Amino acid sequence: MKKRMFFLALMAILPALVFAQFNLTGKVIEASTQMPLPGAHLTLQGSGIKKVSDVEGNFSFSDLKPGNYRLVVSYIGFEPKTTEVNLEKHLDIKISLSPLSYMSDEVVVKASRVSEKSPATFSIVSRETLNRENTGADLPFLLQSTPSLVVTSDAGAGIGYTGLRIRGTDLSRINVTMNGVPVNDAESHGVFFVNLPDLASSIDNIQIQRGVGTSTNGAATFGASINIKTDARSHEAFGNYSGGAGSFNTFKNTINFGTGVGKSGFSLDGRLSKISSDGYIDRGWSDLKSFYLATSWANEKTLVKLMTTSGNQSSYQAWYGIPKDSLETNRTYNPAGEIINQSGEITGFYDNQTDNYQQDYYQLFIAHQASKNTIINAAFFLTKGQGYYDSWKNNRKFSDYGLPNVVVGNVEVKRTDLIQQKWLDNDFYGFNIAGVYESKRQTVTFGGGWNHYDGDHFGYISWARFSSESLNNTPWYFNKGKKTDYNLFVKTEYQLTERINIYGDIQYRQIDYQMDGTHDDLSDLTQQHKFSFFNPKAGVFYSLSSTKGMYASLAFTNREPNRSVYRDADLNQQITHEKLLNFEAGYKSESKSGRFETNVFYMKYKDQLVLTGKINNVGAPILTNVPDSYRLGWETMFSKNLSKKLTFEGHLSVSENKIQAFTEYVDNWNYWDNPDTEPYQYAFELGKTDISFSPSLVAGFNLNWQAAERLLLSYQSSFVSRQYLDNTSSKDRSLDPYHVGKLLVQTDLPQKIFEKANIQLSMNNLFNAKYETNGWVYKYIFAGEEGLIDGYFPQAGFHWMLQLNLGF
């Protein structure tokens, strides 16, 4: 009878034991001060379950099966900690973390960044966000959750040549730094992320400052600055693999590794990546390879870090765009490499119409805590780039290349089909030095930088159907660009009262730029330009409480013209530098349930360089200074925890972007037949017009749902209003508004081999929208009628990417 009762009781209890689930809750604090550590990362090893502590340092793992677990907790600047947990009931624990015994590499970007109490408009893109979004697309596509940002892709699928605009400003006017080192090309001012493939896999975080920002190094920002910090060294050894495949024969393979920090303070971290894709448009393929390697040594007061990263890319040219009237009939047509016969018929395409380039970055950082309150750091860098693009050219004149005509039999041949290569070989090197002094009430940052650029531009004819005797390995053109740039700055934040924090920033910058040699049209480029700029900024931050504040700032900056402005300028054209006065004001609030930020901005330009339709003496379009233009807008960014498992994030930007008085110039094609009676160009006074590529509304939201312990669903929506292709406000020359939806599914795999194992499925353009993100237009008048030549860049319809991520 007793045995029967025992077995009955056991049968009653057994299901509860088998199906029991418990909660693990707790708090992460700093060991010495007992203060909470918000944003600490917690991982239950072997389960794939991860959490982040809230603003009070609290965390919670729910519905866990009974058993033994290893809880790993990490926080930037603190020693990671592993705790063994035996879960047989609901547990509430406290995790104490101790500061690292060596200097953190956050110091390398401290001088170029703003703090939470700085009177600046900025957003932070975390490593977690980048990892969640990184399924092969280029870096601009991973930043779409920030306000006023619009992306574009030449090949239509986010791989290859991509770009972004912030507040209507493209990458040639956005200051981009990597670890405080300038990334923008010194001559063109452009940034080509295709030369840094899969950089996102080696990024710790990104700070995007909108407006003038604190561009202490590199060219001044006229819309935003993007400050990239590469991976912080890992305290523990690790290895990660990510492999993915998707639409358009897209493949991505990435290996990350790190040795951890040894007893002597040394560490080594690295990455190897390869991405390939056929692209959305015809022949829009890309083959991208890159690596990242960083070694460092640190003790309590000193850090030495050597970083190198390199990207090698080969891609079929996709930057021509397609005519507007072809968008409905043949959206994927790519005119690059067209081979045209004497009858004007397209007979095929040149297979090697490619762009080939390699960019290598070398950066050495030395930081030292000179006293209790002062840190001095220095960065020495070298950026080397070399490459060319190969192009088929139909029926070109020998004289355009400085070559004599060819006699075939008794016939003089003046034109030929040919293949040309345009090369760029450049070195960019220099150093930045900064000191940061911090007291209880004040932070003072001071320093400067010096850099030099040396770039060779030249071109070869590698083949011609009819070869001239002068056709050989000698470049048909060669010119050199040299630029020396140095700056000095000092900025300070002072806690005037318990609530008021004031900010001041002064920068002096000097530029010496010269070009020597001939351009590809055989014109002489020899010229020299010098600038001296004084760029002041000031602002105030007012704390309403420990979690709420408001700010206002005023900044003035100057920017020199880039290479193309001088290269294409008319012989008699007067060019001056651009000026910008920027006012920013905003409000920030953070609570346990979310975050809210809103701001207004006014950016008043003087002598902004824009396209007006005006051409130079050889018919090339030129940029012209317009006296007055402005951007006026309102931006809002928010996140809200609707429940423990549902988070809503969004951003909204509304703006007015105007040129006060715009004059459009239109070519007259009848001029060449009647130069004595016909005007060269027509001029039209259009008054106030919209600045090109500046949408009045940009909005987006993310809905993140933790559908199950191991299943995350994230829906992302983006809307961009109408963008004009030129500055005439003509609807016929514009990009239609578009809305794009994306669904990301991430599931953690139950297993006990890897520390991390998950699968990501990215479904892009979920509703198969037909839209274009970029374009160009050329207007002319012939026989009294207006004509247009244009190119639009269509984006891919529904496409997907599936990726496996493993970590140990």
Mean pLDDT in consecutive groups of 10 residues from the start of the chain, 808 residues: 49 47 90 85 72 85 80 80 86 87 74 85 90 90 95 96 96 93 94 95 94 79 92 88 97 96 90 97 97 93 94 96 92 96 94 97 94 92 97 95 90 94 97 92 93 96 84 88 96 93 95 96 95 95 92 96 91 89 95 91 96 73 91 96 92 98 93 86 95 97 92 96 96 96 93 86 97 94 91 97 94
Q: What is the pLDDT of residue 619?
A: 65
Closest by Cα among 462, 390, 464 to 423: 390
Dihedral, 329, 335, 338, 340 alpha carbons, nearest 10 = 60
Give the span between the Cα atoms of 267 and 781, in whole angstroms. 65
**Which one-letter DSSP state was computed for residue 78?**
B
Q: What integer pLDDT is reported at residue 347 of this predicted model?
A: 96
Helix (H, G, I), strand (E, B) or coil at 528: strand
Check residue 62 and give its pLDDT: 80
DSSP string, 193-233: GGGSTTGGGGEEEEEEEESSTT--SSSPPSSEEEEEEEPPP
Cα separation of 382 and 2, whole Å?
A: 84
- In the numeric block, which tokens belong to residue 514? 């010269």
Structure letter (DSSP) for residue 368: E
Per-residue pLDDT at 330 = 95
What is the torsion angle, in degrees rounded to the nearest 10, for the CA atoms of residue 62, residue 64, residue 67 and residue 68? Answer: -50
Nearest-angstrom CA–CA distance, 224 and 212: 6
* Residue whose pair of structure tokens reads 């900010």 in the numeric block: 503
**What is the reported pLDDT for 107?**
77
Beta bridge partners of 304: 297, 366
Count of alpha carbons within 13 Å of 585, Cβ hemisphere only? 5
State how far the Cα of 150 lies from the Cα of 696, in Å rounded to an integer.
Answer: 12
Q: Which residues on neighbouring strands pair with residue 719, listed in sequence order?
A: 699, 739
How far apart, in Å, are the Cα atoms of 500 and each of 179, 538, 549? 30, 14, 10
pLDDT at 12: 44
- What are the angstrom distances between the C-alpha of 56 and each of 37, 375, 495, 616? 7, 30, 24, 63
Residues in the chain: 808
Helix H or strand E encompassing 567: helix 563-568
pLDDT at 784: 87
Which helix (H) or strand (E) element contains residue 344?
A: none
Chain position carrying tokens 């119409």: 353
Q: What is the pLDDT of residue 17?
A: 44
Pairing of strands 174-178, 224-230: parallel
Q: How far apart are CA 173 and CA 163, in angstroms?
A: 12
pLDDT, position 47: 60
C-beta neighbour count of 248 within 10 angstroms: 19
- Between the CA of residue 304 and those of 216, 445, 590, 732, what are the distances in Å? 22, 20, 36, 56
User: Residue 307's closest CA among 322, 286, 318, 291?
Assistant: 291
Residue ranges with strand state E in 519-593 = 527-543, 548-559, 578-591
